[in-house]
Amino acid sequence: MNKIALFEHPLKSTPLVPLSGQYGDNRIWIKRDDLIPFSFGGNKARKAAEFYRTIMESDADLVMTYGSNCSNHCRVIANLAFAMGLHCHIISPDSKEEDSYNRLITEQFGATVETCPVAEVSATIDAAMETFRAKGNRPFFIMGGGHGIEGTRAYEKVYEEICLQQLEYGTNFDLIFHASGTGSTQAGLTVGHLKYLAAGKTGPKVIGISIAREGKRGREVIREGIKEYLAADYERFYRDQELIFTDRYRLGGYGNYNEEVEQIIGKVMSREGIPMDTTYVGKAFCGMQNYLREKKITGKNILFIHTGGTPLYFDHLKGLS
Ligand SMILES: *Cc1c(COP(=O)(O)O)cnc(C)c1O
């Protein structure tokens, strides 16, 4: 396997950027995880840095994962696999949409994409794993979205990173918001917070804005992620009231957005020069604005984590023209 020099060292912190425009009555900062210096960045690049270590320690000769046509995760993993000198095989549910830039980039890395009806994704993964093993391959499987221990660990580290940056930037954050999808970003951040609390320290609360799942299922998956990660320490650290996940702004589910989302994306791009996509980051930023307004939260320092998805910004531009 080839080494990736960038991932041989812990990733450096990403910048915190204060917003200039008015976005309600709080001071809003954005943590630019979209600027992680690998494959257009984002939380999937953070997670990939952790998977890199696990794959390096394995005897894998192939990486397999799954994701939708517009998956950021598939782009990053295809890049990771190619750079490591491994083949990448991706299972993806059939889509009526034209190929996204993420898909085009994924294929540029030589990843093979196998599509199937959405209800058959799991069976197709099993069958593909079986076929590869029968051929003598040693596939390394990564769950969709980089869900799992590695994904959680990546964002536990980000929570610590944020707490250190508070000193560096001279700002204490009251709340951290982010787009919550498969749940490992939120599981990791929440673990970071829980450990802070257990150590008798105060740190910002974490609020996940669901961009897809309904509340009950979304919370369950995040809690399971925390449990799997903390293992024997789960009972000691876990406090249910610290898991804050709202499905109020999911707009009916994955990929849906409205005019309000488009408007805020336009405002943040033109005023701050920060691109946001409609599926994750723009939708969650818009949800955060509504959350703060509806809960009448004012005068707070808020940190919004920009979890990436830059190629999706360009897909949307294409759609507009
Ligand atoms: C995957 C993704 C998310 C959601 O992260 P999870 O860890 O799956 O909850 C948020 N934003 C972007 C841009 C993503 O690609």
Residue 86 is predicted with a pLDDT of 98
DSSP 8-state secondary structure symbol assigned to residue 99: P
Ligand 1 pocket at CB < 6 A: 42-44, 72-73, 145, 151, 179-186, 280-281, 307-309
Query: For the chain, what are the domain ranges?
Result: 5-40+155-320, 45-146
Other beta carbons within 10 angstroms of residue 253's beta carbon come to 12
Nearest alpha carbon, ligand 1 atom 1: 145
Q: How many angstroms separate the CA atoms of 44 and 75, rounded?
A: 9
Chain segment 124-157, per-residue pLDDT in tens: 999 999 999 999 999 999 999 989 999 999 999 9
Residue 73 Cα, ligand 1 centroid: separation in angstroms?
8
5-40+155-320 and 45-146, same CATH topology: yes
Pocket test for ligand 1, best of 280, 306, 310, 313 (most atoms within 8 A of CB): 280
Residues pairing with 112 in the sheet = 89
Residues pairing with 304 in the sheet = 30, 177
The residue count for the chain: 321
Residue 119 is predicted with a pLDDT of 96
Rounded percentage of the chain residues whose pLDDT exceeds 90: 96
Nearest alpha carbon, ligand 1 atom 12: 307
Residue 34 is predicted with a pLDDT of 98
Four-way CATH pick for 5-40+155-320: 3.40.50.11540, 3.40.50.1100, 3.40.50.1110, 3.40.50.300: 3.40.50.1100
Residue 320 is predicted with a pLDDT of 60
Output the pTM of the full model: 0.97
Other beta carbons within 10 angstroms of residue 170's beta carbon come to 7
Residue 12 is predicted with a pLDDT of 87
pLDDT average, residue stretch 18-47: 96
Chain segment 99-132, per-residue pLDDT in tens: 999 999 999 999 999 999 999 999 999 999 999 9
Q: Look up the CATH architecture of domain 45-146.
A: 3-Layer(aba) Sandwich (3.40)
Nearest alpha carbon, ligand 1 atom 3: 181
Mean pLDDT rounded to a whole number for the chain: 96
CA atoms within 13 A on the CB side of 236: 9
pLDDT surpasses 60 at 246: yes
pLDDT average, residue stretch 241-248: 98
SS (H, E, C) 182-201: CCHHHHHHHHHHHHHHHCCC
Indicate the burial class of 214 (C-beta count within 10 angstroms; 0-12, 13-18, 19 or more): exposed
Q: Hey, what are 63's tokens?
A: 């990486």
Give the helix/strand (H/E) hosting 215.
helix 215-230
Residue 138 is predicted with a pLDDT of 97
Reported confidence tier of residue 21, pLDDT bands at 50, 70, 90? confident
Q: Hey, what are 264's tokens?
A: 């805020």
Q: How many angstroms separate the CA atoms of 45 and 110, rounded?
A: 19
Chain segment 255-307, per-residue pLDDT in tens: 999 999 999 999 999 999 999 999 999 999 999 999 999 999 999 999 999 99
Residue 156 Cα, ligand 1 centroid: separation in angstroms?
15
pLDDT surpasses 90 at 321: no
Residue 162 is predicted with a pLDDT of 98
Residue 121 Cα, ligand 1 centroid: separation in angstroms?
20
